[in-house]
């Protein structure tokens, strides 16, 4: 007898792989074609969770549109607008992750997993808030080597938290595959 295929397992796997790629890519400034491709992968995963992950789909689609805009030649001119749009892109990526975690928690139905997702989300929010503040200060006071280092470290920390998100998504995918 054929098993019913559950698209959610593929969705969580796509979200995890896309997040892992974004984490290892670590593009703090402009948007590269590789980053754009990985966001498409994450949006495809969110699309498979449409009913359960509407927030993930909306945030992912908005991030993809913003990244397409950031690929334009006007970004090369510099200024504050590309930096602000890049920060909005990162916040949308966090919204995509938060939107994917809620249905994953329902799949896992495990208190330790739920605590881990909440901890990951809080860590991601705090690190991204720190990164946003540091970038804003760096815009106001350009040329500080220490500040530039702090901005880079905060972005790397954000990327590490994306790897944690990857682990959570792979666990949800594995749990769904094992259920079927």
pLDDT in tens, the chain (180 residues): 345 556 888 899 899 999 988 888 766 666 677 778 888 889 988 888 877 878 889 999 999 998 888 887 666 667 788 888 889 999 999 999 999 998 888 888 888 898 999 999 999 999 999 999 999 998 888 888 889 899 999 999 999 999 999 999 999 999 888 876
Q: Which residues of 69-89 are buried (b: 16+ CB within 10 A; e: fewer)?
A: ebeeeebeeeeeebbeebeeb
So where are the chain's domains? 7-179
Q: Which residues 6+ apart lie within 8 Å of 94 measured at CB? A: 124, 125, 128
C-alpha distances out from residue 24 to 28, 111, 156, 161, 162, Å:
12, 29, 9, 11, 9
Query: DSSP character for 143?
Result: T
CA distance 8 to 23: 22
pTM of the model: 0.86
Query: Could you tell me if 117 and 104 are in contact, meaning their C-beta atoms sit under 8 angstroms apart?
Result: yes
């Amino acid at each position: 007898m054929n098993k019913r295929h559950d698209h959610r397992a593929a969705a969580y796997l796509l979200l995890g792989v896309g997040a892992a790629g974004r984490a290892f890519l670590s593009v703090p400034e402009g948007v590269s074609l590789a980053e754009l491709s990985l966001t498409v992968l994450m949006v495809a995963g969110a699309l498979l969770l449409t009913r359960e992950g509407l927030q993930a789909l909306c945030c992912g689609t908005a991030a993809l549109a913003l990244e397409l805009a950031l690929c334009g030649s006007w970004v090369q001119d510099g200024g504050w607008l590309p930096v602000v749009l890049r920060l909005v892109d990162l916040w949308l990526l966090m919204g995509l992750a938060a939107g994917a975690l809620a249905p994953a928690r329902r799949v896992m139905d495990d208190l330790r997993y739920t605590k881990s997702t909440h901890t990951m989300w809080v860590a991601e929010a705090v690190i991204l808030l720190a990164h946003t503040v540091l970038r804003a200060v760096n815009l106001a006071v350009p040329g500080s080597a220490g500040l530039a280092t702090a901005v880079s470290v905060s972005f790397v920390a954000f990327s590490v938290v994306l790897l944690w998100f990857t682990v959570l998504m792979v666990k949800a995918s594995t749990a769904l595959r094992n259920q079927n």
